[in-house]
Structure 1
């Protein structure tokens, strides 16, 4: 199944009429991750190019300046050390497209890492292959996965070049390759360097830099054993996507997967928490992680599936969370999975009404 294309099942029919829902844009578009994830993660993912991770000894062999295409000295070093590499694609899935300042922009709902594969397993390659490639051209030809369903085990067919997205394919299952890189197998974790642009956002705070370093090594630089993608950010279920698409049709742009803490602080991801000076271990102290958050209105929207929110224990837990949020001035709005499946547009209108009441 992991080699196959797949759609998201049981879609609400009323979404089918939305612009570009089954009609992938013919014109060029851009993806501005800063608008969705914040600048820290956007910078972080943009730095994942060439051979990774960047180690101090590697940078020294490059003459102190990073080169996307490793020079012969680096290739020789990799070979002597016995490195093998996996090619990793950063895949962005968009829930809609919008025109902003005259430019068509893809609006992300999910970001994941997907390894290149061979015969159903992650592909391994040696330094010689990297030496033979022009790594600056990996994104030429609009690389993409068609039928990329981040909620199942169908992770799409990889294509590049002139092959068009089939008419009728839902655009939210076109996985767009945002960046590509090769990750080595025998890097020295203690010698891994952090991107200067991201260090600038954190400052000289060693404990936070260590948390950030650990995150990069565990998420970006850990070799894949299977081809299943590794989620970095975004929606966790189809009902979240469907509600997001309904809200998007009304012009509502919430933050996704936001952590809320007892002091009222909110963070859409760990990167922003580090930037605020909080260690990764502070994650355990959060009240909850909300599906969608409207910061200016202090409205937290939860998509409650029947499977996880119907038992007495789950109902009591949800009530306790709602009470804690209320004490810090945040209103909880819980929408059931069946209601979303019945009419995501009506649910989106309900969210809009709640927002209007909190202006």
Structure 2
């Protein structure tokens, strides 16, 4: 995924007025352009959630859990600003060079216990209890409320020509659609709290499952990339068998966290049985656990998975 900073999305018009050189801080020509248009902006944060971390050889190592984009809010409402504010905030961000860290951060509810400057985080964490969830703001960008979708400049040369339209459509939907209310848009990683709880339980046992692996009908398997590619045919094509929520590639164990919504009906269970049978033919052990099992007896679920990979 291309870096996200400054004003987004980048457009051909912005490149033209800026002399083909765009920076995090908008140029005077860009400021004039958006001032004349009266464009409003939302400040968006790209947040990486850490599910587990530990100190090894005096270094703090974390395990990423999910990647989300979230809007800036005040009193529960999405905030807007004008181009002059964007220029000031972009300049301040460049000079300070630090980002926020959210302690006890839940990417699905948006709740956190406190916000800490990145430079102070390591010192603070050594004195406090271990954190179960930490959200690092990787980047911030200013999303224009109005823009011409056909004018968006995308760096998509690595995408096959046949898939570029779908890639651009989903990227605009995920990253460039203005927020009407607070929501957390999932980009990569665990997709629910039950997945997060199970992932953390396994990490605490010293296990290192991988997140979101695609398994094909040929028996091959690869780690899924950002959810921003989900509309592209080579990810969800006819040759895809399933996607495991957690996967142990060396042990060939696939874990599925089955929510009631998509696995309750008879036809859903029959589909799951067909997938399980196909996986077993490839030597992959499927383990299906329900949200109810994870909530009621997380330890027992962890024991079951640990036994399968031992």
TM-score class, shorter-chain normalisation, is: 0.7 to 0.9
Distance 1:337 1:272 in 2: 22
Structure 1 residue runs of 5 or longer lacking an equivalent are 1-40
Cα drift, residue 209 of structure 1: 3.1
Contact 1:69 1:135 in 2 (8 A): no
For 2:106, the equivalent position in structure 1 comes to 149
TM-score (norm 1): 0.72
Superposition CA RMSD, Å? 3.4
Aligned equivalent of 1:245, options 190, 196, 200: 200
For 1:187, the equivalent position in structure 2 comes to 147
Cα drift, residue 55 of structure 1: 1.6
Cα distance change of structure 1 residues 340 and 139 upon mapping to structure 2, 3 Å threshold:
farther
For 1:12, the equivalent position in structure 2 comes to none
Contact 2:6 2:141 in 1 (8 A): yes
Cα distance change of structure 1 residues 103 and 121 upon mapping to structure 2, 3 Å threshold:
same
Aligned pairs (5 A) from 1:170-249: 171-195=131-155, 199=157, 202=158, 205-249=160-204
Cα drift, residue 51 of structure 1: 0.9
Contact 1:139 1:179 in 2 (8 A): no
Cα distance change of structure 1 residues 239 and 120 upon mapping to structure 2, 3 Å threshold:
closer
Aligned pairs (5 A) from 1:152-167: 153-156=109-112, 159-161=115-117
Aligned equivalent of 1:129, options 82, 85, 110: 85
Distance 1:138 1:159 in 2: 20
String of CA shifts for 1:11-68, please: whole Å, max 9, x gaps. Answer: xxxxxxxxxxxxxxxxxxxxxxxxxxxxxx4xx3xx1011111222312333323311
String of CA shifts for 1:179-207, please: whole Å, max 9, x gaps. Answer: 11101123232232234xx64xx26x323
Aligned pairs (5 A) from 1:191-340: 191-195=151-155, 199=157, 202=158, 205-269=160-224, 279-280=232-233, 283=236, 285=238, 286-305=240-259, 309-340=263-294
Distance 2:181 2:228 in 1: 30
Distance 2:206 2:15 in 1: 45
Range moving further from structure 2, 95-104 or 234-243:
95-104
| Secondary structure in structure 2 of the residue aligned to 1:148 | coil
Distance 2:305 2:65 in 1: 18
Cα distance change of structure 1 residues 168 and 341 upon mapping to structure 2, 3 Å threshold:
farther
For 1:48, the equivalent position in structure 2 comes to 4
Aligned pairs (5 A) from 1:14-53: 41=1, 44=2, 47-53=3-9
Cα drift, residue 272 of structure 1: 9.3
Cα drift, residue 223 of structure 1: 0.2
| Secondary structure in structure 2 of the residue aligned to 1:280 | coil
TM-score (norm 2): 0.82
Range moving further from structure 2, 136-145 or 48-57:
136-145
Cα distance change of structure 1 residues 239 and 139 upon mapping to structure 2, 3 Å threshold:
farther
Contact 2:253 2:287 in 1 (8 A): yes
| Secondary structure in structure 2 of the residue aligned to 1:155 | coil
Range moving further from structure 2, 141-150 or 231-240:
141-150
Aligned pairs (5 A) from 1:102-121: 103-121=59-77
Contact 2:167 2:232 in 1 (8 A): no
Cα drift, residue 169 of structure 1: 7.9
Distance 2:292 2:51 in 1: 20
Distance 2:114 2:53 in 1: 22
